[in-house]
Chains A and B, each alone.
Chain A
Amino acid sequence: ELKVEQNPLFLSMQEGKNYTIYCNYSTTSDRLYWYRQDPGKSLESLFVLLSNGAVKQEGRLMASLDTKARLSTLHITAAVHDLSATYFCAVDIVPGDSWGKLQFGAGTQVVVTP
């Protein structure tokens, strides 16, 4: 059974500090996705990581992928309140099949406080 595990599930951040969210998965997929969800809202795509060693950065967020370790990290630099949301990682249910069939992790709820 394909498993996608995120940790921590809840993360209380202080503004200005750095934090990392981890995503482990059990498939051989070489592709990993990160999404953000605000309360009561839909999912917003943050990153699509397409190969081993891929690193993508957008603002204070940086995501990386190690397919050999089956691990992706989402690093948050100098957290700000606007980053409060739930972050999900996901992988293709069928490795190599990117037709919109994703297995999501349980999500990491992030709360940033002053």
Chain B
Amino acid sequence: DAGVTQSPTHLIKTRGQHVTLRCSPISGHKSVSWYQQVLGQGPQFIFQYYEKEERGRGNFPDRFSARQFPNYSSELNVNALLLGDSALYLCASSLGRNTNEKLFFGSGTQLSVL
């Protein structure tokens, strides 16, 4: 079975540009979460979507936005990129139906902002 897939795997952008990151959850999973992991730190929660609705947002500026599609895949958009946005962006999926489940993480998109 395919796990959580993210694209692209690596991306280089310059300050001020816009970026779109994509995530396909495990088949049957309806919940998708996004995390930012700066080198040497733990992941920081950005967004969570379930059944195409935003269920939570972390402490990130409005430059960050996301959405979930009818097939439960998701996009994370970041506008007006800053150097500090350079990080590994992780997508995680889960069934979203009970309290005993764990998150399954994708391999991430490594974003470098120059």
Residues of chain A whose beta carbon lies under 8 Å from any beta carbon of chain B: 4, 31, 33, 35, 41-45, 48, 50, 88, 90, 93-94, 97-107
Contacts and interface: CB of A to CB of B under 8 A. Distances in A.
Nearest to A96: B99
Contact of A101 (B33, B102, B107): B33
B104 A93 contact: no
B102 A33 contact: yes
Contact of B31 (A41, A43, A99): A99
Contacts of A31: 99
Nearest to A43: B105
B55 A104 contact: no
Nearest to A92: B99
B81 interface: no
Contacts, number: 73
The 10 closest A-B pairs by CB, nearest first: A104-B42, A100-B33, A45-B102, A43-B105, A42-B105, A101-B56, A42-B107, A98-B99, A100-B48, A48-B102
B92 interface: yes
B48 A99 contact: yes
Given A42-B90, A42-B107, A45-B102, A100 B96 contact: yes
Nearest to A101: B56
B103 interface: yes
Contacts of B32: 100
A104 B43 contact: yes
